[in-house]
Amino acid sequence: MALKDLLLTPLYLPFILLLAVWLRTKMTDSVTRRYFLPGLFVKIIGAVALGLIYQFYYGGGDTFNFFHDSNLIWEAFLNDPFTGLELIVADNNFHTGLYQYTSRMHFYVDPYTYQVVRLSGFFGLFTFHTYTLIAILFAFVSFTGVWALYKVFYDLYPHLHKQIALAVLFMPSVFFWGSGLMKDTITLGALGWLFHAFYFGVIRRRSLAVNGTMIILCILIIKAIKVYILLCFLPAAFLWIFLEYRAQIKSPALRFVSLPLVILMAVPLSYQAIVKITEENKRYQLENITTTTQVTATWLQQVGTMQSGSVYSLGEFDGTWTGMISKAPQAIFVTLYRPFLWESRNPVMVLSALEAAFFLFMTLKMLWRVKLKKLGSLIVGQPLVLFCLLFAITFSFAVGVSSYNFGTLVRYKIPMMPFFLVALYVLQGQAVKKRKKVRRFA
């Protein structure tokens, strides 16, 4: 961060807040209005705080490497605007006219990471390439997706508006790691809009053209940066669709028989969708996922050991599907409920440990209220809850088995956190509601 951050940020911020106030009139009602600006404020605070922590605590990191590369776009733009614009849309090949800039970039050769540089460079054209302002714009764009996610849950469970606000808007890890100049900020926002468009377009069948276009756009954005999010989202989404139509069957017996058929139909469709989405990304093609997971886990484990010793182990991993799946229970538990407080090595880890303890407490509280024997029927009876749990659990497995480093895991797992916590709140609420009905008729 530099002097221009201190000079320009106060000048731009009022215009950003005015835009937020205008959007609040379009995107809220009398109940949700109270959460809109506070939700945006914590995103902005998270964006600025992330930059400060990377600068003064870590002494560098991805966010500053993104900024460094996009600064070269700004440098090129000042010398020749067409060259700067060409760098924003460049195809990751080294061209003669761009080489003096691309040869100095950290991420130019990585097409998935360079997407962040493109957006940072674009925002830099309007902010004199000021880090704080670029980070705030990342947070603002991401917040619109997070708010779209909140609106879906609120539409289904308006009586849980406070709990949903906590789960979606105010979880510290989510608004901290999902707000700065990072990959996670973009993918979190795109995931929120994808979920919103899927629910209102496919499930509720409203504004099909608009929501269909939004679904395609969000899938392309997520695919371009973190395709594994889609690998967890799509199977859960297909199952949700089938369960919604199954719920319209009036005969209880036919509904019961149709469940295995629903699952059998969802699996091949999900498989075909995954094959199509990953056809251009060899690392995440199904036949290569185990190798990618093993390589990523080994590298991140080495990084964690060198930086802070914040590593965990799931045992030996032989790089096979059988070996990877055998790690599922441990990987899911690590993602959802670790690090423990005594495993914390720095202040950021303490925050993650407190959240993990909260997740464990909420899970135990839900199990105590719902009772294990009733849990299955309660989940299957609510397609959204099943979607949330399936997405959260498969995502927890994916990041848990490939991270082996708490410092990385805390950032990677934020997309699943709102879904998992909302599912817990809904299940608790349903259990309480059923108990009240029993008492009323007793």
Query: Within 13 Å, how many C-alpha atoms sit on residue 145's CB side?
Result: 30
HSE, CB side, 13 Å, CA atoms: give it for residue 409.
34
Taking 70 as the threshold, does the pLDDT of residue 162 lie above it? yes
User: 10-15 contacts: CB < 8 A, separation 24 or more?
Assistant: 12/127, 12/133, 12/136, 13/136
Could you report the per-residue pLDDT of 249-284, keeping only the tens digit for each?
666 666 565 666 666 655 555 555 545 544 555 554
For residues 344 and 218, give the distance between their C-alpha atoms in angstroms, rounded to a whole number.
35
Please check the confidence at residue 285 and state whether its pLDDT lies above 60.
no
- When the pLDDT of each residue in the chain is averaged and rounded to a whole number, the result is 84
Weakest mean pLDDT among 40-44, 94-98, 195-199, 222-226: 94-98
| In the predicted structure, residue 72 carries a pLDDT above the cut 70 | yes
pLDDT at 306: 47
Residue 199 DSSP class: I
Residue 21 has pLDDT above 90, yes or no: yes
15: pLDDT strictly greater than 90: yes
Give mean pLDDT, residues 178-182.
92
pLDDT attached to residue 58: 79
What is the structure's pLDDT at 277? Answer: 47
Which burial class, exposed, middle or buried, applies to 328 when counting CB atoms under 10 A from its CB (0-12, 13-18, 19+)?
Answer: middle
Per-residue confidence (pLDDT) for residue 440, from 0 to 100: 43
Looking at the predicted structure, is the pLDDT value of residue 441 above 50?
no
Residue (of 305, 298, 299, 308) closest to 352 by Cα position: 308
What's the pTM? 0.88
Does residue 291 register a pLDDT over 70? Answer: no
- According to the model, what pLDDT value does residue 235 have? 85
Distances (CA, A) of 396 to 258, 329, 409, 419: 29, 10, 10, 11
CA–CA distance, 439 with 142 (Å, rounded to integer) = 44
At 264 the pLDDT is 62
pLDDT digits (tens, 9 = 90+) for 208-256: 999 999 999 999 999 989 888 988 898 889 888 887 776 666 666 665 6
pLDDT surpasses 70 at 438: no
Digit-coded pLDDT (tens) for 111-126: 889 999 999 999 999 9
Q: Is residue 201 over pLDDT 80?
A: yes
State pLDDT tens for residues 340-391.
888 887 787 888 899 999 999 999 999 888 877 778 878 877 889 999 999 9
Of residues 140 and 330, more confidence is placed in 140
